[in-house]
Amino acid sequence: MNTERSRLYTYRWYIWGILALAYVIVFFHRVAAGVVRQDLIKAFNITDVEFGNLGSMYFYAYMIMQIPSGILADTLGARKTVSIGTLLAGIGSIIFGFASNITLAYIGRLIVGLGVSVVFISILKVLSQWFREDEFGRMSGLTSFIGNGGALLAQFPLVVMVTSIGWRLSFAAIGVLSLLVAVLAYLIVRNSPEDMGFTPIIEKAEKKDISLSESIKNVFSNPKTWPGFFAFGGMFGSVIAFVGAWGVPYMIHVYGVSKAKASTFTMIVTLGLMIGSLVIGTISDKIGRRKAPFLTFSLIYTLTWLILIYVNPGKISFSALYILLFIMGFSSSGFVLSWACSKEVNNPNYAGISTGTVNMGGFLFAAIIQPLIGYVLDKNWTGKLIEGVKVYTVVSYNRAFLICLIASIIAIISILFVKETRCRNIKTVNN
């Protein structure tokens, strides 16, 4: 029995490792557009609003697919869902890399978004089967930590890669890598310990013959589901808008640094998010609370936006800015608790649907915020161009970033309504 348990605990890390690698690809595509903004504007002759929309194609597809992703994770299973999704992402990335016009670029980004949209919900489903409840917060944080490595790769390393082989070949190469990960996922990943002949790690909830529509209705009609939706949306949507689209041009225009140097500042945000994801999950599991650490991190995160917007850049040295942006990323990691919160206030049999519903909030906010920032910037443009690309002032960015500040405040208010279950499923708490 001990030998069987040892094999089980070893194999689950192989499964998690392959899924985490797929999640690295998810994050790469999530933020890569911001680094190649100038290349895309020149290649397709587009405005910043159109650039914002191009970035949002990923998020619209991701958002729309969250409920279907939960359904697929609960029915088809994580193995096939991730394999097919990562395969699509690879195809979409190759199409994007070789797009001859903006329409094909939109299509490529849309396919990428559709493909990667199923990965994280499938990972959460696997975690709910291969890891105990008191490990879930920590494993969610660890997964976010590794996934954000993809966001790091999509910043300074991507700048170097684009400089060496061009943005088109860079995205094509990532597409090929995605195809290889899809094959590995199909060969290695299994949906549950029972699929490998092992005994279950967790006690299974009693299954009832409930229709898919009834499952969705139960999750949607549960008022405890929605605070996590808006909390995740406000924090994730705003930080990803900075890291994935507008942080690099902000640093170039406001601080006058090169694109390579600017990408190191967004890398710092990502590094903070990676480390914070480990810390918040571990703290939450250790103290047996979700709401208190979630609220604390959201308050600190909002403070960083206040400083970024209202403190004159001339009064912030590069060293202080690195620290501020690290804290921004670190504190934004509080959103990883929204997945645990959603899982714990709904029937465990609906783990995919409940986490998918909450996850939808982040990508809805991200899809709305990115083009909104582009719109506000365009409305406050001074008419200056550098190499055919619009340049904005600090006043323009401050007005645009008010959108991110408002989103972070929405997150704080939402967290106040989160149901504390002490890291246990609400069905267990009520029994």
Number of domains in the chain: 1
Tokens describing residue 111: 């396919």
What number of residues does the chain have?
A: 431
Look at residue 203 and tell me if it is in a domain.
no
Residue 217 in any domain: the answer is: yes
Task: Please give the pLDDT value at position 387.
Answer: 65
The pLDDT assigned to 111 comes to 94
List the structure tokens of 63. Answer: 């958002």
Residue 246 lies in a domain: yes
In a domain, 61, yes or no: yes
Q: Which amino acid is at 88?
A: L
Domain-embedded: residue 172: yes
- Confidence (pTM): 0.78
Query: 410 lies in which domain range?
Result: 2-193+212-430
Q: Cα-Cα-Cα-Cα dihedral of 303, 140, 348, 217, to 10°? A: 50
Three-state DSSP class for 383? Answer: coil
Structure tokens at 392: 């904005």
Query: CA 146 to CA 24: how far, in whole Å?
Result: 7
Angle in degrees, CA 248, 231, 28, rounded to 5: 35
CA torsion through residues 189, 195, 199, 200, sign: positive
Contacts of 157 (CB under 8 A, 6+ apart): none
Coil/strand/helix, residue 390: strand
For residue 224, the model assigns a pLDDT of: 92
Three-state DSSP string of 144-175: HHHHHHHHHHCCHHHHHHHHHHHHHHHHHHHH
Tell me the C-alpha distance between 214 and 209, whole Å. Answer: 10
Whether residue 201 lies inside any domain: the answer is no
CATH of the domain at 28: 1.20.1250.20
3-state secondary structure of 274: helix
Q: Quick one: CA dihedral 43, 47, 51, 53, positive or negative?
A: negative
pLDDT per residue rounded down to tens, the chain (431 residues): 567 778 888 888 999 999 999 999 988 887 787 778 888 888 888 887 788 788 778 888 888 888 888 788 878 888 999 999 999 999 999 999 999 998 999 999 999 999 998 998 888 888 888 887 777 767 877 887 888 788 788 777 888 898 899 999 999 999 999 999 999 999 999 888 888 878 777 665 555 555 678 888 888 899 999 999 999 999 999 999 998 888 988 998 899 898 889 989 998 998 999 899 888 888 888 888 889 999 999 999 999 999 999 998 878 899 999 999 999 999 999 998 998 888 888 887 777 788 878 888 988 898 899 889 989 998 888 777 666 677 888 999 999 999 999 999 999 999 999 988 877 777 655 54
